């Protein structure tokens, strides 16, 4: 459904304002907010030119639509995903000029980020203004997740989620994925697209086919699309009110396409005169809401010109006073750099998670125990929700009585939908960024998502969500927001035929992300205990499951009990030894054991007293340095083995630290065993040549022992 709101003119404007519910008092309040926003922009521009701040980006020209959006919203009840021009919106929701100036100077008392984010990245947990990033368009899929979470946590309530951006960000894939999801689930998401005609220097007709994002959405079902003059407060208020009502009444999402102006350049790092003509800039100036709206107020007798001028002076004085306070505020202390990377409430590396197994029954596969753990945690905590590609038993619930059900391509989620219902376990579209973004939004609002990426090889569309959003969320908000969730990801090769797109590793890319826990079990019991810890902890966890290990005979284990957990950062010595240490994880644990047994067998045949120690790290971030240090201090020889490629791999960090901190304990060089620096091949013979094998480990052990 598509509609538009015409801009009233002349004497019709005051009548239209009254009909929309805009009283004279509300109109004057709107002007104060709009003027405060513009005056803050001007003050920050001055501070930047005086080199007293470090960056500035303006919201000028967008004030009318933003104030209208704030006036129809319910801060602390609704949820908000603003973007970097939304100064007037955040002021209307209740943030102050001092709040914004403290962020501009990067003060420790900046309530949005504690001086960690650039200006205009606002956040306020009390008002449900979620911390934003600089990435464009990433907020859309998180807003969808937030709306889905509100539906679960607050059934029957009319909360909506307002998410905004410029028109340029609608070129991002996450925008289209979010619209797809919002329409599929008829979620109360209000998309506000503030179209000022330019994405930095790129005009809208070079961004959007036909130059209109609202027209492109005409074919989407269950979404109300409204086009409006975003420089006119009255029509903007009516448009936003209609869109909000649509969402609150349960019809589905709405999109308001607001045409704004950008009287200032994109930022102080940009000069729009290099791509906008003088005529174009003059035409824009005529539509400036800080010119047209106060003129309307005076002409309609709502305020005298002299009183309005005095109001502007008062606003400027208040901002000047707040500027002095902000400039006197202390910067962040260097000692706080690592604060809020991880939860201060729950430490998954603590003894709290060191629970002994209470084994019972026959040995089970990794698939069996992961499935059991998911079921138990869903029974224990109704906030746990499982979703991903093909994870449900059957999306068409009516067919469940006639079909077996799928439950994941590897069967790890089998039966979850049947037992807990389609609201607790469901399928997602093939859109990895949406899967992760949805999980972030749901976790932010208070749920505990356990999302699945079907194959590690296809995780890359979600990389922006994982790196720029999920991992930094707690840190960049100075501890005010977090997204404790689990991403389950099948990984690894040795599959015979997996090839390039079903057999790769690459875990080291994710261990490089501060704020993200990375787990990689090698056997069924550890998978059970570590997954339970991952779900119960308060941090985002990347839980890597080696596909080859899912149903192996050698790594099976009896059910260890419903409260069995394993602390993160606690390695396991799977085989003790005195002559050499192998530090490893995942599929290389078994190969290291076989290699150690082969070398020790030969040693016994030749009367050489050789014993190899094998350490399974189990978690990669954090990892157990003390276990490595103790073992290497004992054996003085060490190999770091992993399935990922050799160069720039995870083993390089471990090897470098051993060389740095244990050099005087070493009797031989630190060696690494890993895959060749290429892709995994399809033919089994080629795959075997590329991935590390037991023989490669035996050869390297022999070299080190002979050194």
Residues serving a catalytic function are: 502
CA dihedral over 267, 269, 274, 278, signed as positive or negative: positive
Q: Six-digit token pair at 473?
A: 């969320």
Angstrom distance (rounded) from CA 523 to CA 547: 11
> Could you give the 3-state DSSP secondary structure of residue 189?
strand
Q: Which residues pair with 79 in a beta bridge?
A: 161
| Helix 24-49, helix 233-248: angle, nearest 10 | 100
Q: What is the DSSP letter of 470?
A: I
Strands (DSSP E) along 29-160, which ranges? 79-81
Q: Six-digit token pair at 377?
A: 């945690």
The neighbour count for residue 370, using CB atoms within 10 Å, is 26
Beta-carbon contacts of 82 under 8 Å, excluding residues fewer than 6 positions away, are: 89, 90, 122, 129, 132, 164
Angstrom distance (rounded) from CA 580 to CA 615: 11
How are beta strands 612-616 and 619-621 bridged, if at all?
unpaired
CB 133 within 8 A of CB 476: yes
CA distances from 530 to 53, 329, 354 (A): 45, 44, 10
CB 528 within 8 A of CB 577: no
CB 573 within 8 A of CB 615: yes
Candidates 299, 300, 162; CA nearest to 243 is 162
CB 182 within 8 A of CB 141: no
Write down the residue that tokens 């469901």 correspond to. Answer: 426
Angstrom distance (rounded) from CA 251 to CA 222: 7
Q: Which residues pair with 487 in a beta bridge?
A: 451, 542
CB 179 within 8 A of CB 225: no
> Could you give the 3-state DSSP secondary structure of residue 117?
coil
| Helix 24-49, helix 97-105: angle, nearest 10 | 20
The neighbour count for residue 294, using CB atoms within 10 Å, is 20
Strands (DSSP E) along 351-463, which ranges? 360-364, 384-388, 425-427, 448-452
Burial (Cβ within 10 Å: 0-12, 13-18, ≥19) of residue 228: buried
Angstrom distance (rounded) from CA 456 to CA 409: 13
Strands (DSSP E) along 585-690, which ranges? 612-616, 619-621, 638-645, 671-675
Angstrom distance (rounded) from CA 326 to CA 322: 6
| Helix 233-248, helix 63-71: angle, nearest 10 | 40
Residue 239 region, left (φ>0) first, then alpha (ψ -120 to 50), else beta?
alpha
Write down the residue that tokens 């590690």 correspond to. Answer: 456
């Amino acid at each position: 459904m598509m509609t538009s709101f015409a801009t009233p003119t002349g004497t019709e404007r005051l009548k239209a304002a009254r009909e929309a519910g805009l009283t004279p008092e509300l109109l004057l309040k709107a002007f104060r907010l709009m003027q405060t926003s513009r005056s803050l922009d001007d003050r920050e521009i001055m501070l930047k030119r005086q080199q007293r701040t470090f960056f500035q980006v303006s919201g000028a020209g967008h004030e009318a639509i933003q104030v209208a959006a704030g006036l129809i919203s319910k801060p602390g009840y609704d949820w908000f995903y603003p973007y970097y021009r939304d100064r007037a919106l955040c002021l209307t929701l209740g943030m102050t000029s001092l709040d914004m100036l403290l962020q501009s100077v990067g003060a420790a008392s900046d309530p949005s980020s504690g001086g960690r984010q650039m200006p205009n990245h606002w956040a306020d947990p009390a008002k449900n203004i979620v911390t934003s990033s600089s990435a464009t368009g990433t907020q859309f899929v998180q807003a969808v997740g937030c709306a889905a979470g509100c539906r679960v946590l607050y059934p029957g309530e009319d909360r909506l989620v307002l998410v905004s951006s410029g028109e340029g960000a609608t070129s991002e894939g996450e925008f289209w994925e979010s619209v797809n999801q919002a329409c599929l689930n008829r979620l109360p998401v209000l998309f506000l697209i503030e179209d000022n005609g330019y994405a930095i220097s790129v005009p809208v007709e070079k961004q959007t086919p036909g130059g209109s994002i609202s027209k492109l959405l005409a074919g989407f079902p269950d979404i109300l699309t409204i086009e409006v003059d975003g420089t006119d407060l009255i029509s903007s208020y009516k448009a936003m009110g209609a869109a909000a009502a649509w969402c609150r009444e349960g019809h589905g999402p709405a999109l308001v396409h607001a045409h704004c102006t950008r009287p200032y350049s994109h930022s102080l790092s940009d000069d729009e005169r290099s791509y906008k003509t003088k005529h174009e800039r003059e035409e824009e100036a005529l539509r400036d809401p800080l010119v047209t709206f106060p003129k309307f107020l005076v002409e309609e007798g709502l305020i005298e010109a002299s009183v309005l001028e005095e109001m502007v002076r008062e606003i400027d004085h208040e901002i000047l006073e707040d500027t002095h306070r902000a400039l006197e505020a202390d910067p962040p202390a260097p000692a706080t750099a690592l604060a809020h990377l991880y939860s201060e409430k729950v430490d998954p590396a603590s003894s709290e998670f060191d629970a002994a197994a209470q084994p019972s029954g026959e040995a089970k596969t990794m698939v069996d125990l992961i499935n059991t753990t998911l079921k138990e945690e869903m029974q224990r905590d109704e906030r746990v929700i499982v979703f991903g590609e093909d994870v449900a038993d059957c999306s068409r619930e009516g067919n469940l009585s006639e079909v077996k059900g799928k439950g994941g391509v590897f069967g790890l989620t089998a039966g979850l939908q049947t037992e807990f219902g389609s609201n607790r376990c469901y399928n997602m579209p093939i859109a990895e960024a949406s899967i992760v973004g949805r999980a972030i939004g749901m976790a932010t609002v208070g749920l505990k998502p356990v999302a699945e990426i079907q194959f590690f090889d296809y995780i890359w569309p979600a990389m922006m969500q994982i790196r720029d959003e999920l991992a930094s969320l707690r840190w960049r908000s100075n501890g005010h927001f977090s997204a404790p969730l689990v991403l389950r990801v099948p990984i690894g090769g040795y599959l015979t035929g997996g090839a390039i797109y079903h057999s790769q590793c690459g875990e080291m890319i994710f261990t490089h992300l501060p704020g993200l826990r990375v787990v990689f079990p090698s056997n069924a019991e550890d998978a059970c205990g570590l997954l339970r810890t991952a779900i119960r902890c308060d941090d985002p966890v990347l839980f890597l499951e080696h596909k080859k290990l899912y149903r192996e005979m050698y790594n099976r284990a009896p059910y260890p009990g419903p409260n069995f957990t394993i602390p993160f950062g606690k390695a396991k010595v799977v085989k003790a030894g005195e002559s050499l240490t192998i530090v490893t994880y995942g599929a290389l644990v078994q190969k290291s054991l076989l290699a150690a047994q082969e070398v020790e067998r030969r040693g016994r045949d030749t009367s050489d007293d050789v014993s190899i120690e094998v350490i399974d790290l189990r978690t990669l971030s954090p990892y157990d340095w003390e276990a490595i240090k103790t073992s290497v201090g004992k054996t003085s020889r060490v190999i770091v083995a992993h399935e990922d490629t050799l160069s720039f791999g995870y083993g390089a960090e471990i090897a470098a630290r051993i060389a740095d901190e244990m050099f005087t304990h070493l009797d031989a060089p630190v060696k690494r065993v890993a895959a060749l620096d290429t892709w995994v091949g399809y033919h089994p013979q080629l795959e075997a040549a590329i991935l590390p094998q037991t023989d490669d480990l035996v050869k390297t052990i022999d070299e080190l022992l002979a050194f």
